A and B are shown apart, each in its own frame.
Chain A
């Protein structure tokens, strides 16, 4: 198969072959075409494949073999927290009482689900140190936008209509400035200093009466704890702005520090990162948002309440920013995260961060002999290397990433954060064993050596994957975004 194109499901299709088993039509068969005006009865059927069940299974099994997941091998993708996805979570989420309940069932028929949601909210309140949490946002970026809309509503309620700017560090995730724009703000950049932390002087310069919020990831995307956080919070708060916490890196500080205690007013979490909801090849995620009491009136509605042991939704929320999503959030992912939190408890969650940080520091110290370490200090759950030493030898970070594929590893995040030249961002997570880390480190050291002695081995990588490097230019210049049908 290696030298042939892997067929598309459409290429297996043969007319009149079936892969379905529909229920019987046990009601009288009527000519329903008569119900509709001719123009509304579809004439040309959508060209879906006509394949047997085994063909479908072979097709997708074949595709799965052409895909790398955490269960396939180490996945040290910085900022993505590719930890193990517990199988128990999957089983729990598939219980009929969780997977087959309808969002419009009467509340009294879903008390079990509401109990789980409420308990999850309470747990997240405690973990983040916030006053209240909503589970409605569907993913991290959705949570960012939700949080910013709440900050906007808060300022507007105070008559502060001039607060149109959201400050974002140059090292921030791309979603931060994008969410600011979508929420109707102007994104303003604050610089990092030589420590890799937010430059306080620059922050003082950009903060003013137009500041709506500062968005921050802590530890930041360089894997470093913003140790001036209290001073930063004071600068922003004194100017009337609010502090937004991007929870992408929460895996570093569970049980060690809480955004609420650092002075943050709004927090979003990525349950699919820190709390093991699987990434699913790009989703679905879940992005709950926590806020302080002053922002509570602006939460998306409805909110979940508990009274006398019964749970119900409260839709009477006049100052709410409204709904951010139909129904009540990605419940199925929330069930998985809840199962995980209950498995770990306070002791387990703290160990998660301890080991995530220990693993990252260990790798960083062992790799610094061969790679430039732009910020030489203890990191948190991830760290940044620069490939500029190898670049001088003609080997780019991209090449080294591709070479790692030959050893069965998913490469680290590359060329991010954008303020580091030839960046490699490595996040091992706590679920990897020392043996795995050691083998990965050895391979990295080998690649560094190859860059010196036989650079073409790296430059021409990967050598063992089922396909070689893709022509991305052609893909963008002449986009083919669907399979053409005959």
Chain B
């Protein structure tokens, strides 16, 4: 009798041990079979290194873009129809402008929370592209793109291109004086492509510049098509990440065959949710306190007007810089023109850069003959050539970026515009060339540094019975540098055997 009760109770206990939640999960598992997979997912390990959160910044700023973007679509009117503005922003009262511009001004001033949402959207975009670039640099310099992750490198690089493209499209939508000039430049760039340029430009713009179709078209691209592709590729990016698991830096207990860190649930989930809130909070604070793209100060677009210091958003800067400093080499013969002065800096150059990015994993494999699977990351200093190549590319892009503000630099430093332009031409060539050997050298120096790049270990201070204090460094953390990359210790003193007399005159220093 008592046996039966006991079994019953134990059965009940076994059933009801996890209460309602357990019951729900059981029901779910009956239908979908999620228990084992779900458990594995809850146990998924995320490395704790700070550099792994750069991608998260990109992801979360993209979420913010989606949310704020949906808000903006409710009030923005993608139309080039001309209206006369009579709204709450008095200085523009009575001016003729496109409906796109008028509705942007309206949603900034007349819609509750509109200005905040617009500024957050713009800031989130700048952060989005920036986070992608820094995340990409991390992946590059640590060699995380190596086999088996080449495909994810390509997916990620495509995402960068799409982010830049969509940033430009969105920046163009308000049809203000500065962005309209940007559209005109984009039109001229398409026009510069040999043979098909004028056809492409007419197809994109529905006729000659400016026409009335470009704003609605950009709107569909910006709000539907490109975001859909981005969402698809982000999903693929994350799927590949889960399937192939994270890379990790070498360290204690970390091998090519495991991942060390915090589990998905609850530790990582808490950290990453908190991080989403932090990114959102910082974006909101930027939106509140840092004015960005005040289109009402630029005024509506008018193809015959222009303003000083016309610059695109930061991620387009390298293109603008290249256009500024490229010499005016145009081909003109046999009744045809090839505008090399536009074609090379604005079409060929970005094409080359992004293609180089795409094929870099293949190039590196060719040179190193390294076909192994890598899950442990490199320290950048241990791969001097790759690091130097990356720094060269970044410094080249950086110089182009600086070149996009030649006029502002000339004004700020009160020097001749001509001098700024000529020196930027030289610097854009010289700085990357110098960057390679300098980075290469620094990497080797860091390698040679005994214990370089390690965390400092505490000194243990002991007091002897005689009252003498002595400090001994505690043993190093074994997990910092893989042993095969250990630098050879350099002898710090010459130990000379004392001769018979016992007084060689050489003092033996003991450390």
Answer yes or no: are A and B bound together in one complex: no
The interface of chain B, by Cβ under 8 A from chain A, is none
